[in-house]
Amino acid sequence: MGRKTAATGVGAEMLLTTTIQKIASLRAELSSHETAAKARSDAIRSEIAELSRSVALDGAMLDQEKISLARTVLYVRGSYERAGEDRASVIQDAVAFFATGPRPYKDLRQDYFGTKNYDRWSGQRSDHPYWAGPSHGTICFAVGLTDAGRKRDGFTPEEVEACLYLLTRIEAIQKAEASVRAA
């Protein structure tokens, strides 16, 4: 016959239920705490990165305000240093777009300008409509307008100047920003 102990009586069942409920409650509390802690850690890391980028740009004597303004209408993706043979033409055409306006076949409102890596060729020029890419190879460097920038008819003189500033100093800007990531 079964032996009854204090752990098998009615009081023990209630103790077991209470203990399991407490474990579930603590797991939920721990999960909530970890989620909040991760969010705060991510926010702190982001702030540190932005301040470090600011220091690097200042140290490189680059105008942060112009760079920030340019990035409201213009994006640069990928590394110019590793963008290959046709990288200069990407910057040249983007500069011409901002300096003189859209020219036939070179309108940043319609296409982004870029270079791609394909087979053994690195940095082949490859321009595409937004949200599209090459059928062969992958884009390694691209210059285009942000979604907000594409929706606008024109840009202020300050925005044009800022975009030209960023484009003509892209190597120095990317080098300064890379020094922050390396640190």
Looking at residue 1, its pLDDT comes to 47
Q: Are residues 2 and 31 in the same domain?
A: yes
pLDDT tens per residue across span 102-132: 776 688 998 999 999 888 788 889 899 898 8
For every residue of 32-83, DSSP letters joined together read HHHHHHHHHHHHHHHHHHHHHHHHHHHHTT--HHHHHHHTTTEEEEE-STTS
Bridge partners of residue 138, in order along the sequence? 117
**pTM for this predicted structure:** 0.69
Q: Are residues 93 and 37 in the same domain?
A: no
Higher pLDDT, 12 or 162: 162
Determine whether 98 is exposed, middle or buried from the number of CB atoms within 10 Å of its CB (0-12, 13-18, 19+): buried
Higher pLDDT, 73 or 61: 73
Q: Are residues 110 and 49 in the same domain?
A: no
Count of domains for the chain: 2
Q: Are residues 90 and 108 in the same domain?
A: yes
Higher pLDDT, 9 or 131: 131
Q: Are residues 123 and 173 in the same domain?
A: yes
Q: Are residues 120 and 45 in the same domain?
A: no
Q: Decide which of 59, 77, 98 is a domain's last residue.
A: 59
Q: Are residues 90 and 132 in the same domain?
A: yes
Between 70-79, 119-128, 161-170, the lowest mean confidence (pLDDT) is in 119-128
Q: Decide which of 42, 59, 76 is a domain's last residue.
A: 59
Q: Are residues 21 and 109 in the same domain?
A: no
Looking at residue 149, its pLDDT comes to 94
Domain enclosing residue 106, as ranges: 64-182
